[in-house]
Amino acid sequence: MPNRNLADIRIHYQKAALDWDSLSSDPFINLDQWIHDAIAEKLYEPTAMMLATSDNEQQPHARIVLLKGLDSGLVFYTHYTGPKGLELAQNPKAALTFFWPEMERQVRIEGYVEKVSSELSNAYFASRPRDSQLGACASAQGQVVADRRTLEANFAAIAAKFAGKSVERPDHWGGYRLLPNRFEFWQGRPNRLHDRLLFIRQEHNDWSTQRLAP
């Protein structure tokens, strides 16, 4: 193994501070602003977020998905029959994390996940590039395949099936919405004294706030 001094890698956070005066009392407004800031900075994949789920043996699983809507919750799309879809069917509690290292910012979000309506899934699917639509139909997400050629053959078969006509959204693919009960906004600070401001949902959709030690 090459000798890499991983323990010596450090970033000194010093770009900004975070206090309650700089945030809205509504965490959705804050998240929307931070995403807007990441887009304005032209960051790579500014809507990428880590989705963490757990299976029926309490084993956590995490992967990156893309935020595709922000309304009463955070909306993303995937296969219902893939691993994360099966895990969400077993346990609808999940967590999301945004990390924008160039801005020294992170947002952690926890809550419950529900499927979005068929109408919303249909509308988003129709807006996708055709090849992305075909890929969603062709792939049995998370299943073992013999080789790359098998994937490409499946894609070619689906492309032939829908040649000359629109691609229908498959039943196994659609959207989820995470309904948050907790937001944590994190800003890197010098000396590892990071700012961590927490919103916890109360009754009537009010939010309590706390500052956390880094």
Which pLDDT value is given to residue 1? 65
Per-residue pLDDT tens over the stretch 147-192? 999 999 999 999 999 999 999 999 999 999 999 999 999 999 999 9
The Cα–Cα gap between 159 and 137 comes to 9
Q: Under a CB-based contact definition with an 8 Å cutoff, are residues 200 and 208 in contact?
A: yes
Q: Under a CB-based contact definition with an 8 Å cutoff, are residues 100 and 43 in contact?
A: yes
Per-residue pLDDT tens over the stretch 113-127? 999 999 999 999 999
- Pick from 111, 118, 212, 96: which is nearest to 169 by CA? 118
Phi and psi angles of residue 19, each rounded to the nearest 5 degrees, phi first? -140, 175
Q: Taking the model in full, what pTM does it have? A: 0.94
192 as an active site residue: the answer is: yes
Which pLDDT value is given to residue 18? 97
Q: Domain boundaries in the chain? A: 17-126+173-212
Residue type at position 31: L
Q: What angle do CA 95, 98, 102 make, to 5 degrees?
A: 160
- CATH superfamily to which 17-126+173-212 belongs: Electron Transport, Fmn-binding Protein; Chain A (2.30.110.10)
Catalytic residue, candidates 192, 196, 201, 211 = 192
CA 116 to chain CA centroid, nearest Å: 15
The Cα–Cα gap between 125 and 62 comes to 24
**Which helix (H) or strand (E) is 37 found in, with range?**
helix 27-40
pLDDT in tens, the chain (214 residues): 677 889 999 999 999 999 999 999 999 999 999 999 999 999 999 999 999 999 999 999 999 999 999 999 999 999 999 999 999 999 999 999 999 999 999 999 999 999 999 999 999 999 999 999 999 998 888 888 889 999 999 999 999 999 999 999 999 999 999 999 999 999 999 999 999 999 999 988 899 999 999 9
